[in-house]
Structure 1
C-alpha cells in the first residue's frame, strides 16, 4: 500500500510539472500571417498581370484601327496599365490583415490554451518545433504546431475570403478597381485624347467586359493548378521556427 501511495504521489507530481506550452503571441501571429500572405500575394499578382494583359489586348475592341496612331494607343494603354498597378498595390496592402483575421480572429480562431490536453512539449528557446509536433497537436489552439496541423483548413478559409474580396473589387463599374483606378484613368484619357471622344461608351464597355472576365477566372484562385505543392512544406517549416 505504501508503494502504491508513493507511486500515485509521484505521478501526480509529474503531472503538475509537465512543461506548459506557450501560445503564439503577437510577434508570432504576425510572422505566421506573413508566411501565408506572401504566397497569396504572389498568386493575386498573377491576376493583376492578367488584367493588364487583357487591357492591352481588348481595350480598343470595336474601335477603328486607324482611330489612333500606334504611339497614341501605347500612351492610352500605359495610362490604364498604371492604374491597374496602383489597384494591385492597394489590394496587396490588405492581404496580410485578411490572413491575420482569418487565422486569429475568425472562428474557430487559433488562440488559447494548448495544454489541455497535453500534446507537445514547448522546445527550449532557439530550438524549433518538429514535424511530429505538427502531427500531434490535433486540436485548435494558439501555438504554431496547431496551425501547422490544421493548415489545409486554414488555407481553405483564407482562399474563400480572398476570392470573395477580389471578385468584389472587380465586379462591374461600381467596383473599387473601376471606380478608384481604371475608370478615372480612362476618363483622363478621354479628356486629353479628343480622337476617342466618340468611343467613350465602347471603351467603358470594354473595360467592364475585361473586369468581368477577371472576376470569372478568380474561381480558380489558389487551386491545385496555382498553388505549388512545395509551398505547404515551406510554410510548415517556417511556422515551426516560431516560438
Structure 2
C-alpha cells in the first residue's frame, strides 16, 4: 500500500469512533424532538401516537446507520484525509533532503522511522517523520475536513443526509398509515401538514447539531481527551510507513 494511503487510513481509524459518537448524539436529539410535534386526530383515530413515533424513530435510526456506514465510512474518511493532507493547500509532499535533517532517506525493510527522526524533521515535506512532527497541524486538517464534509451532507440545499432523513421519514409515516388500512390519509391536508412539521423539526435539529456538535468536534470536554488520547499511538503507526 502507498504510504500516503496508509497514513490516511490510520487517521480514519482513530476519527471514525469519534464521528460515530457524534452521529449517535444526533440520533438521540432527533428521536427526542419527534414527540414534540403534535399528531393530528386524523392519524390518532386510526394509529396510536406511540406506534407512529416509534416507527419514525426506527426510520431515523436506520437512515443514520446507513449514513454512518456509507458517507462516513472509513474508506470515505480516508479519501478525504488523503486529499487534505497530501493534495490540497500546503500539502505534505516534496523533497525531504533539502535541507537535510535525517541521516537516511528511508529505514531498512522491516524497520520503522524513529521518534527522534520525527523530532528532527521540522519542515513540511513528503516523508512520515514530517507528518509525525506536524501532527497537530495534520489533526486540524482532518477535523476541518470532517466539519466541512458533514456540513455539506447536512446542508438544507442539497445535503444527502437531509434528503434521506426527509424522504425516509415521509415513507415511514405513509407506511404506518397503510399498515392500518388508511394509506389514503397521506393525501389529507392535516396529515401533510404534520409531515411537513416533522421534517422541519428534523432540519432544525440538524442545523443545531452541525453548529454545536460537529462545529465543535474534539473541543468539548467529553471529546477533547478522546481526540488526544491516541497521539503517541498514531505517531508510531505513521512512522511504520516507509
TM-score, with structure 1 as normaliser:
0.81
Say whether residues 1:38 and 2:37 are aligned partners.
no
Does residue 172 of the first structure (1) align with residue 156 of the second (2)?
A: yes
1:92 Cα deviation after fit? 1.6
Q: Any residues of structure 2 matched to 1:141-156 within 5 Å, and which?
A: 141-156=125-140
Task: Judge conservation of contact 1:171–1:215 (CA < 8 Å) in 2.
Answer: no
Q: 1:107 to 1:62 in 2, by over 3 A?
A: closer
Are 1:112 and 2:94 matched, yes or no?
Answer: yes
Distance in 2 (CA, whole Å) between partners of 1:236 and 1:211 is 34
Structure 1 residues 89-139: Cα deviation after superposition (integer angstroms, max 9, x where no partner): 222232111100111111311122211222112322212111110000111
Q: Secondary structure at the match of 1:164?
A: helix
Which entry has the higher C-alpha Rg, 1 or 2? 1
Query: Which of 37, 53, 69 pairs up with 1:62?
Result: 37
- Say whether 1:85 aligns with 2:65: yes
Cα deviation, residue 190, structure 1: 2.9
TM-score, L = length of structure 2: 0.82
Q: Please, which of 71, 93, 100 is the counterpart of residue 82 of structure 2?
A: 100
Provide the C-alpha distance between the structure 1 equivalents of 2:61 and 2:109, rounded to a whole number of angstroms.
Answer: 48
Instruction: Count residues with an aligned counterpart.
Output: 217
Which sits farther off after the overlay, 61-70 or 200-209?
61-70
Q: 2:144 aligns with which of 160, 163, 170?
A: 160
Against the structure 1 CA distance between its residues 113 and 174, is the aligned structure 2 distance closer, same or farther, given a 3 Å change threshold?
Answer: closer
1:7-18 matches, within 5 Å, as none
Q: 1:187/1:160 Cα in 2 relative to 1: closer, same or farther (>3 Å)?
A: same
RMSD of the alignment, in Å?
2.1
* Residues 1:241 and 2:235 are matched in the alignment: no
- In structure 1, stretches of 5+ residues that fail to align are 1-25
For residues 36 and 83 of structure 2, the distance between their equivalents in structure 1, rounded to whole angstroms, comes to 41
Q: CA deviation at 1:65?
A: 9.8
Structure 1 residue 192 corresponds to structure 2 residue 187:
no
Give 1:142 shift.
1.1
* CA-to-aligned-CA distance 1:139-181 (integer Å, 9 cap, x gap): 11111001101111111122122211112221336422111x1
Q: How far apart are 1:30 and its partner, in Å?
A: 1.2
Give the corresponding residue for 1:15: none
Cα displacement string for residues 193-236 of structure 1 (whole angstroms, at most 9, x for unaligned residues):
33782511221121112111211121211226324322111110
Conservation of the 8 A alpha-carbon contact between 2:143 and 2:217: yes
Q: Distance in 1 between matches of 2:40 and 2:216?
A: 34
